[in-house]
Amino acid sequence: MKRLVTVVAMVLVFGVSHAAWAAKCEGVSYPDKKTVAGQELVLNGLGIREATMLQIDVYVAALYLPQKTRKGPDAIAQQGPKQLELKFVRDVEKKDIADAWTEGFKKNAKGNLAALKGRISKINGWMADMKAGQKLIFSYVPEKGIEVTVNGKVKGAIEGEDFMKVFFAIWLGPNPPNSGLRVGLLGGHCG
């Protein structure tokens, strides 16, 4: 009986450990599920943001959705909460982050850029210099918008489904920062 209890305890410990940290990329681990606004989301995929022609790793991104999908438009269109988490693997200045957001919105707004400008400025104003190991978390909750968390501090929410669609298109649309990032977030290989 004592042996059975020990075996069950080991299975529970290792089973929970495996379930809690289901995916790993470039040394960064993410859980296979998260809860946002009371809804359980599943890890859709992990991707690496690479910068410059030298393909320098900047962050590992994780995408959480209500249901897994391999199609960017389907991920963006899914009803309910969704979350994108970026864990930096190198130091990045606030200006570089803001410039990347601005460029991403320009590439993906499809003529709606003017309507988004004020909200793009708002999100850019919330950015900070990021050190390796720090996180940006973007949690979309319908009726509220995208809640922005910088290094564990909630900065506020950016309202509007129109903003959410373009924001997530930066990573999941036809013009991602690098193609491997999109492939990974949509369930492909991270790397």
Q: pLDDT tens, 28-70?
A: 999 999 999 999 999 999 999 998 767 889 999 999 999 999 9
Strand blocks (E) in the chain:
23-25, 28-30, 33-36, 39-51, 56-65, 82-88, 135-141, 145-150, 153-158
Full-model pTM: 0.87
Does residue 14 carry a pLDDT above 50? no
d(CA 178, CA 187): 15
Q: How far is Cα of residue 53 from the mean position of the Cα atoms in its chain?
A: 23
Closest CA to 171 of 94, 107, 126: 107
Inform me whether the pLDDT recorded for 7 exceeds 70. no
Q: Partners of 145 in the beta sheet?
A: 141
Q: Looking at the predicted structure, is the pLDDT value of residue 112 above 70?
A: yes
Considering only residues 4 and 112, tell me which one the structure prediction assigns the higher pLDDT: 112
Provide, rounded to the nearest whole percent, the portion of the chain with pLDDT above 90: 77
Rounded Cα distance between 159 and 143, Å, is 8
Name the class of domain 2-185.
alpha beta
One-letter amino acid for residue 82 of the chain: K
Rounded to an integer, the average pLDDT of 144-160 is 97
Cα of 185 vs its chain's centroid, Å? 8
**Position 167 pLDDT exceeds 60:** yes
Rounded to an integer, what distance in angstroms lies between the CA atom of residue 180 and that of residue 92? Answer: 20
Looking at residue 120, its pLDDT comes to: 97
Distance CA 9, CA 28 (A): 27
From 40-44, 134-138, 178-182, the region with the lowest mean pLDDT: 178-182
Check: CB of residue 85 under 8 Å from CB of residue 129. Answer: no
* pLDDT at 5 exceeding the cut of 90: no
Band of residue 138 on the pLDDT scale cut at 50, 70, 90? very high
Domain boundaries, the chain: 2-185
pLDDT of residue 17: 37
